[in-house]
């Protein structure tokens, strides 16, 4: 196989154009075969195959630094930089990461699991290198058209244009992120493709020399332009146009689905169906519920930062286009816009992943909570997410949300509880409400039940016991239920915390009076977590019993199959059962 002869980028230096094209074909096939088997991000890496080969032909990684933004474009880069034999382990436990990882290879110049960071990182590297007298290194930021529209990317471009930093920005313009790109900048790029580049464009205005747009799949043209730009110094921008999913018909025709399609047939493109016994993804429960509520309440609006399909909002956007707002990769803007809408009587549901919400923390505090506005934060992908790993594990939201005044934080235990919270939120809130729920399938087959109003701040006892009570946070209730099946009925109690803030102190006081030991289980960081809040309250009440907390220790959790990650983190049914056994024996 052609790729077997490549141990690193230097093996490309003497290759002819024809040989490089063969490498492109082999690279594309390798990516398709492995992603079909292991799952992962397909379309983005297929779209930059020619660019990847050209970059490693012209430049000299790791001396020259290539930063991929977002990092799921980097599969071909990993294969060409000595990880072809490991690529079958991509995103698997103890295997290579699905994103660039500095500790994995010197060729991974910067970790990029979130969008919009590459230009700032490249500029920081270039300025530092210059201070140290190193001037012969090229710093290359490969950034998508959806990523470059983010505020952080524009902040970096604004700074870059005032420097002489040796940074080459490659704008990979395929008019799609996970969903189709949005916004005025997308329309501007489209106009640039359809006519000769104007003498003055937005990048020239920022004092960044511009080249393009050129065909990003024309390998010969790419090599020519990159060679020319390699001889230049100072800021440069190369605008290339590509097709996401290039070379695989199914991925080209259905770019949204084949961004990360799951397992599929590498020959036909047919996606494998997973048997889930009638269960539904939390994202689909959310989307269907919000669409149903919006049909009855015209004040409901949905806001998402470029996560329409991933968050389950496709149907909502189709049915209520005037009340649907995809703001692009702009989490800060999304939250402050939601705040503004709340001041004018709308009921904004702002839907974003836990790890993306981290990017808008100031807006959450300053613009929403400080003004006590009724914004509903739908915190998707809360808890451990599996194969995407530490850049996407939503394990910090409890800790960073529960300290904010005026904000209520709910953790529904199942799909029905999620629906009821969404229903209650649109009845009228006295302040902001955050609802955290996990990625993937729930465990109920019948969840479309009549809505019930939730009393904010109330938990519930699910099962009475004798001397030990387990308090679960959110959907860890399922793991706890599995663990408790190994014990005699009525021997161990189980309570659903329901709300992390405010705590149901009445429920906790009743538990403290009845039980000599308490075990808390949460799918978030222990430091600053729900268990810590319960321990603090127990101390205030001079609770004489023992409390033990299960959750994520003070470390980043690796990528891998979710069940295995739960076990590593100590919150699998097996680990919970072992902890309960130890506490019972200790008594």
Q: How many CB atoms lie within 10 A of CB 234?
A: 16
Strands 167-173 and 139-144: parallel
Q: Which of 83, 244, 436, 575 is catalytic?
A: 244
CA distances from 280 to 217, 268, 351 (A): 39, 26, 18
Strands 433-436 and 376-380: parallel
279 is catalytic: no
Structure letter (DSSP) for residue 369: I
Pair 398, 409: CB distance under 8 Å: yes
Nearest Cα to Cα of residue 290 among 414, 189, 421, 201: 421
Nearest Cα to Cα of residue 109 among 156, 159, 56: 56
Torsion angle (degrees, nearest 10) of CA 71, 72, 76, 80: 40
Is the bond into 102 cis (omega within 30 degrees of 0)?
A: no
Enclosing H/E stretch for 13: none
Burial of 508 (C-beta count, 10 Å sphere; 0-12/13-18/19+): buried
244 is catalytic: yes
Token pair of 558, please?
């690796």
Q: Which of 28, 50, 138, 331 is catalytic?
A: 331
Q: How many CB atoms lie within 10 A of CB 346?
A: 18
Instruction: Give me the sheet containing 460-463, strands edge to edge.
Output: 460-463, 492-496, 468-472, 517-525, 546-552
69 pairs with which residues across the strands? 143
Strands 492-496 and 460-463: antiparallel
Distance CA 512, CA 506 (A): 10
CA distances from 557 to 92, 275, 437, 570 (A): 13, 27, 18, 11
Q: Which of 323, 359, 413, 436 is catalytic?
A: 359
Measured in degrees and rounded to the nearest 5, phi and psi for residue 46 equal -65, -35
Triad 105, 108, 110: Cα angle to 5°? 130
Token pair of 546, please?
């023992």
Phi-psi region of 236 (alpha: psi -120 to 50; beta: other; left: phi over 0): beta
Active site residues: 244, 331, 359
């Amino acid at each position: 196989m052609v790729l077997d002869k490549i141990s690193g980028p230097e093996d490309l230096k003497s290759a002819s154009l024809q040989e490089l094209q063969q490498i492109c074909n082999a690279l594309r096939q390798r990516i398709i075969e492995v992603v079909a088997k292991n799952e992962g991000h397909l379309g983005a890496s297929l779209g930059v195959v020619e660019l990847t080969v050209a970059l490693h032909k012209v430049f000299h990684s790791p001396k020259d630094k290539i930063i991929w933004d977002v990092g799921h474009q980097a599969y071909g880069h990993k294969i060409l930089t000595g990880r072809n034999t490991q690529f079958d382990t991509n995103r698997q436990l103890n295997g290579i990461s699905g994103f660039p990882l500095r500790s994995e290879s010197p060729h991974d110049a910067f970790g990029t699991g979130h969008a919009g960071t590459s230009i700032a990182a490249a500029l920081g590297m270039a300025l530092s290198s210059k201070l140290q007298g190193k001037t012969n290194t090229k710093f290359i930021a490969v950034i998508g058209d959806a990523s470059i529209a983010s505020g952080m990317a524009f902040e970096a471009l604004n700074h870059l244009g005032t420097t002489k930093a040796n940074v080459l920005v490659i704008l990979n313009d395929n008019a799609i992120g996970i969903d189709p790109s949005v916004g005025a900048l997308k329309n501007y790029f489209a106009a640039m493709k359809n006519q000769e580049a104007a003498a003055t464009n937005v990048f020239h205005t920022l004092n960044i020399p511009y080249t393009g747009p050129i065909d990003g799949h024309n390998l010969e043209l790419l090599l020519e332009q990159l060679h020319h730009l390699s001889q230049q110094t100072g800021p440069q921008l190369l605008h290339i146009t590509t097709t996401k999913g290039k070379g695989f018909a199914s991925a080209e025709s259905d770019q949204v689905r084949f961004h990360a399609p799951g397992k599929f047939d590498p020959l036909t493109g047919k996606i494998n169906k997973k048997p889930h016994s009638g269960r539904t993804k939390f994202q689909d429960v959310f989307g269907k519920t919000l669409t149903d509520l919006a049909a009855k309440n015209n004040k409901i609006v949905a806001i998402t930062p470029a996560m329409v399909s991933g968050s389950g909002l496709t149907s909502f956007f189709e049915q209520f286009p005037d009340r649907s707002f995809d703001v692009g990769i702009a989490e800060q803007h999304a939250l402050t816009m939601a705040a503004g809408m709340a001041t004018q009587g709308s009921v904004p549901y702002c839907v974003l992943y836990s790890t993306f919400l981290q990017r808008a923390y100031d807006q959450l505090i300053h613009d929403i909570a400080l003004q006590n506005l009724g914004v509903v934060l739908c915190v998707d992908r809360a808890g451990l997410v599996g194969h995407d790993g530490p850049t996407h594990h939503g394990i910090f939201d409890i800790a960073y949300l529960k300290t904010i005044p005026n904000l209520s934080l709910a953790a529904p235990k199942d799909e029905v509880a999620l629906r009821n919270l969404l229903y209650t939120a649109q009845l009228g809130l006295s302040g902001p409400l955050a609802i955290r729920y996990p990625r993937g399938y729930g465990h109920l087959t019948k969840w479309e039940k009549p809505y019930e109003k939730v009393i904010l701040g109330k938990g519930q006892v699910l099962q009475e016991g004798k001397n030990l009570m387990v308090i679960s946070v959110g959907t860890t209730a399922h793991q706890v239920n599995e663990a408790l099946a190994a014990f005699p009925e009525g021997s161990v109690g189980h309570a659903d915390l329901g709300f992390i803030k405010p705590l149901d102190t009445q429920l906790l006081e009743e538990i403290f009076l009845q039980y000599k030991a308490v075990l808390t289980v949460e799918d978030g960081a222990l430091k600053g977590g729900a268990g810590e809040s319960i321990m603090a309250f127990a101390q205030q009440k001079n609770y004489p019993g023992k409390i033990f907390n299960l959750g994520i220790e003070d470390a980043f959790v690796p990528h891998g199959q979710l069940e295995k990650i739960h076990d590593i983190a100590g919150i699998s049914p097996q680990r919970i059962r072992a902890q309960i056994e130890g506490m019972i024996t200790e008594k």
